[in-house]
Chain A
Amino acid sequence: MELVNRFKKTYNLEWVKLELLKTAFGKKDSYMGRKDPRLVMVWYFIVSLLPWFTFNQTILIGLLVYTIVTSLVSRVSPLIIGLLTIGVISEIIYIVALVYLFGGEWAAFSSLITFTMKITIMSIASIAAFASMDPEKLSDALLSFGVPAQFSFAVSYGYRMLPILLDEYQQIILSFRLRGKAPTNGGVLKWRTIYYYSKIVVKAFYPMMLNTAKKTRTTVEALEVKGFSYSLHDKEAKKQKLSHLKLSNQDYTFLVMSIGILLAIYFLGKYYPI
C-alpha cells in the first residue's frame, strides 16, 4: 500500500533520531527563551486560564492572536506547529460534521467554536512558553515553585541521556534487522511487514532493559558518592542551585508589555463585543 511505503521512507529510525535531537537540542536563544523561566511560567498560567473566565468572542480572538504572535516571535519548531494545526483542523472538521449531522443551529456551532478557541489558546500558550525554553531552565522554575527535586533531576538526566539511549536502541534494532529477514511479500495491507517491525520494536526492549538497568546502577552509585539524596532535601543546596534565577530589565519590560496587551484586549472586548 502506498501509505506504508511513504511511512517507511519518512519514518526511518535515522530520521526520527535526527528530528528528535534537533527539537531537543536546537538553539534555544529565542524571545521567550531569554526570559526568566518563573516569569514565563506565570505568564503561561495567566494566559491559559484567562479564556475560561469569559464568553466574549472578541476577547478570545484577541487572546488567540496574541498567543499566536508570541509563539511566532519565539520561533517554535515547524514540527510542533504542524502537529497542532492538524489537531485544530481535525477538531473543527469534527465539530462541523457533528453539527451538520444532528442538524444543529448556529448557536450550537458558535458555542462549540468558542470552546475550541479556548482549548486552542491554552495549547498555543503552552507552546509559546515552553517550546523554546531550555528544559533545564524550565525544571529550575518548577523547582522554585516547589515541585520535588527528583523531577528537576530527571529533566537534567533525560536531557543528557537522550542521545545515548536513542543510539543504543537504534543499535539493537539494527542488529535485530541484520540477523532477521524482512518478509518479501507483505501480505494484505502489508500486515506481515508491520508485524515484523512491531515484533522487533518490542523485542529490542529486552536487551535495552538489561543494559539500562546496568547503566542506571552506575549512575546512581556515582550520584550517591557525591551525596545526591542528601542534597535533594537540603534547603541550602536548593538555594544555591536556584541562585542564577534573577529578574532583569528585559523581564520587567515583558511584564509591563504583557499586562498592557491583556488590558487592551479586555477593553477592546468590552466596547466592541461580537
Chain B
Amino acid sequence: MNQLSREEYSQSQKMMIFILAMSLFGLANLFTELLPEFVLGPVEISVSYLAFIPLSLVMLFHPLYAAVGASVGEIIFGDLLLGDFGGLGELEGFIEFTLAMYIAGLLVTNLRSKKQVGIAAIVGIGIDQMLSTIVDVGKVWVGIEEVEAVPGLPESILAIEGLSFVTEMIISGVIFGLIPTLYLIPRLYGKIEPLLGIKPREGRVKASMTEWMSVRFVILAIFLTFMGMVAEFMAEMDINFAVWEPEFLEQFGDGFIWLPISAAAIVFIVAVFTAIKWLGASSNQDKKGKSA
C-alpha cells in the first residue's frame, strides 16, 4: 500500500462519505419523524424512512461508510437532537439498518443496470424489515406468556406483523425506496462522486471482496445481529420465567433470574469490546496505510 490507487478510498474520503450520508439521511429523518401516521385498526400506514437516500449513497460510494453514516445520522438528527434518544433501544435499529444497507451496497456491481439497482434496493429494505419483523414477533412471543394458551392469538399476531411487513414494503420499500432510487441513481452517477474527489464506482470496488467480506467481519456482523436480538429478548425474559416455571423460581428464589440476564450482559459487553477493539485495529491499519 505504498501509493493510493484510484479505486481506494483515503481516510478523508471515507470521512466525507460518512458525513454526507449522515447529514442527508439525518435531514430526511427529521422530516419523517414529524409526518403523521394513519392507523387503520392494528395496521399503521406511515413513511418510516426515506430509504432512497441511504440506498443510493450506499450504491454510489463505499457501502460500509455510507451505511454507518446513515444510521448515525438517524440516531443523531432523528433522536438525539430532538431529545428523543432511546438509549439501549437505538442499538437494535442501528445494527439492523447498517447491516441491511451494507448488503444492498455490496450487491450492486453495475450502476447502469436498472435491474441490479432495483433488486439491491428491494433486498436492502427487505432485510431491514425482515429483521425487525423477526425481532417484533419474538418480542411478543416471549413477552406475552399465554400466546399458545389463547386460541387464535398466535395467528392474529402473525397476521398483524405480516400485514405491517407488507405495508412497510410497499410504502417505505417501493414508493419511497425503489422508485426514487431508480430515478436518482442514473442522475447522480458520475456527477456526485467528483464533488468529493472520488472516481465513480465501476463494478465492485477493486480488491474489495476480501477486504470487506472478511470472515471476521461476517462473523462479527452476525454476532452483533444476534446480540441485538438477545438484548431485545433480554428485556422480555422475566415474564416468561415468572409464568412458565413458577416452581422452579420458588426453588431457586428470585435471584435465579439474574443468571441468564447477567450471562447475556457479559456476552454483550465482550461483544462490544471486541467490536471496539476490532474497529480500533482496522482504523490503525488505515492510518498506517495512509502514512506509509
Q: What residues make up the interface of A, taking CB atoms closer than 8 Å to B?
A: 7, 11, 16, 19-20, 23-24, 44-45, 48, 52-55, 76-77, 80, 83, 90, 94, 98, 101-104, 108, 111-112, 114-115, 118-119, 122-123, 125-127, 129-133, 135, 138, 146, 148, 150-151, 154-155, 157-159, 161-162, 165-166, 169, 198, 201-202, 205-206, 208-210, 212-214, 216-217, 219-221, 223-224, 228-229, 232-233
By secondary structure, the B interface counts as: helix
Whole-angstrom CA separation of A16 from B261 in the bound complex: 42
**A53 contacts which of B24, B184, B238 (Cβ < 8 Å)?**
B238
* Complex contacts, B180 vs chain A, CB 8 Å: 202, 205
* Complex contacts, B203 vs chain A, CB 8 Å: none
Whole-angstrom CA separation of A108 from B146 in the bound complex: 7
**A217 contacts which of B28, B187, B188, B197 (Cβ < 8 Å)?**
B197
Residue B206 lies at the interface, judged by CB distance under 8 Å to chain A: no
* Complex contacts, A169 vs chain B, CB 8 Å: 27
Chain A's closest residue to B143 (CB) is A115
* Complex contacts, A129 vs chain B, CB 8 Å: 87
Given A138-B80, A217-B195, A20 and B30 touching (CB < 8 A)?
yes
Among the stretches B8-16, B117-125, B213-221, the one at the interface with A is B8-16
Known: A209-B192, A220-B15, A223-B12. 17 other contacts (CB 8 A): A44-B87, A53-B257, A104-B146, A108-B145, A111-B242, A114-B239, A115-B239, A127-B83, A130-B80, A146-B276, A155-B80, A162-B77, A166-B27, A212-B20, A216-B19, A229-B12, A233-B287
Closest 8 A-B residue pairs measured CB to CB?
A131-B83, A130-B85, A213-B195, A102-B150, A24-B81, A126-B87, A158-B76, A202-B180
In the complex, the answer to whether A135 meets B81 with C-beta atoms within 8 Å is yes
Residue B151 lies at the interface, judged by CB distance under 8 Å to chain A: yes
In the assembled complex, how far is the CB of residue B75 from the closest CB belonging to chain A, in whole angstroms? 9
Whole-angstrom CA separation of A129 from B31 in the bound complex: 24
* Complex contacts, B158 vs chain A, CB 8 Å: none
Query: How many A-B residue contacts, CB cutoff 8 Å?
Result: 203
Whole-angstrom CA separation of A23 from B183 in the bound complex: 34
In the complex, the answer to whether A209 meets B24 with C-beta atoms within 8 Å is yes
Residue B159 lies at the interface, judged by CB distance under 8 Å to chain A: no
Can you report 7 A-B residue pairs in the complex whose CB atoms are below 8 A from each other?
A16-B31, A101-B156, A154-B76, A158-B22, A206-B187, A213-B195, A228-B15
In the complex, the answer to whether B28 meets A111 with C-beta atoms within 8 Å is no
Chain B's closest residue to A213 (CB) is B195
- Taking residues whose C-beta sits less than 8 angstroms from the other chain, chain B's interface range is 35 or more
* Complex contacts, A154 vs chain B, CB 8 Å: 18-19, 22, 72-73, 76
**A108 contacts which of B28, B150, B192, B234 (Cβ < 8 Å)?**
B150
Whole-angstrom CA separation of A23 from B52 in the bound complex: 27
**B53 contacts which of A54, A90, A205, A224 (Cβ < 8 Å)?**
A205
Whole-angstrom CA separation of A7 from B46 in the bound complex: 14
Whole-angstrom CA separation of A198 from B34 in the bound complex: 14
Given A53-B257, A205-B28, A209-B192, A229 and B15 touching (CB < 8 A)?
yes
Chain B's closest residue to A139 (CB) is B80
Chain B's closest residue to A118 (CB) is B235
Contact with A along B254-283 (1 / 0, CB 8 A): 100110010000000000000010010001
Residue B253 lies at the interface, judged by CB distance under 8 Å to chain A: no
Given A148-B276, A165-B27, A209-B188, A111 and B176 touching (CB < 8 A)?
no
Whole-angstrom CA separation of A107 from B80 in the bound complex: 38
* Complex contacts, B56 vs chain A, CB 8 Å: 209
* Complex contacts, A76 vs chain B, CB 8 Å: 83
* Complex contacts, A118 vs chain B, CB 8 Å: 235
* Complex contacts, B77 vs chain A, CB 8 Å: 158, 162
Most central of B89, B144, B258 by chain A CB within 10 Å: B144
Chain A's closest residue to B61 (CB) is A213
In the complex, the answer to whether B238 meets A213 with C-beta atoms within 8 Å is no
Contact with A along B47-78 (1 / 0, CB 8 A): 00010110010000000000000001100110
Residue B6 lies at the interface, judged by CB distance under 8 Å to chain A: no
Residue B284 lies at the interface, judged by CB distance under 8 Å to chain A: yes
* Complex contacts, A83 vs chain B, CB 8 Å: 84
* Complex contacts, A20 vs chain B, CB 8 Å: 30, 34, 81-82
In the complex, the answer to whether A158 meets B276 with C-beta atoms within 8 Å is no
In the complex, the answer to whether A213 meets B276 with C-beta atoms within 8 Å is no
Most central of B42, B81, B192, B239 by chain A CB within 10 Å: B81
* Complex contacts, A90 vs chain B, CB 8 Å: 39
Chain A's closest residue to B144 (CB) is A112
In the complex, the answer to whether A155 meets B27 with C-beta atoms within 8 Å is no
In the complex, the answer to whether A53 meets B50 with C-beta atoms within 8 Å is no
Whole-angstrom CA separation of A204 from B74 in the bound complex: 19
Whole-angstrom CA separation of A84 from B143 in the bound complex: 21
* Complex contacts, B175 vs chain A, CB 8 Å: 198
* Complex contacts, A16 vs chain B, CB 8 Å: 31, 34
**B23 contacts which of A55, A122, A161 (Cβ < 8 Å)?**
A161
In the complex, the answer to whether A157 meets B19 with C-beta atoms within 8 Å is yes
Whole-angstrom CA separation of A112 from B176 in the bound complex: 35
In the assembled complex, how far is the CB of residue A54 from the closest CB belonging to chain B, in whole angstroms? 8
Residue B134 lies at the interface, judged by CB distance under 8 Å to chain A: no
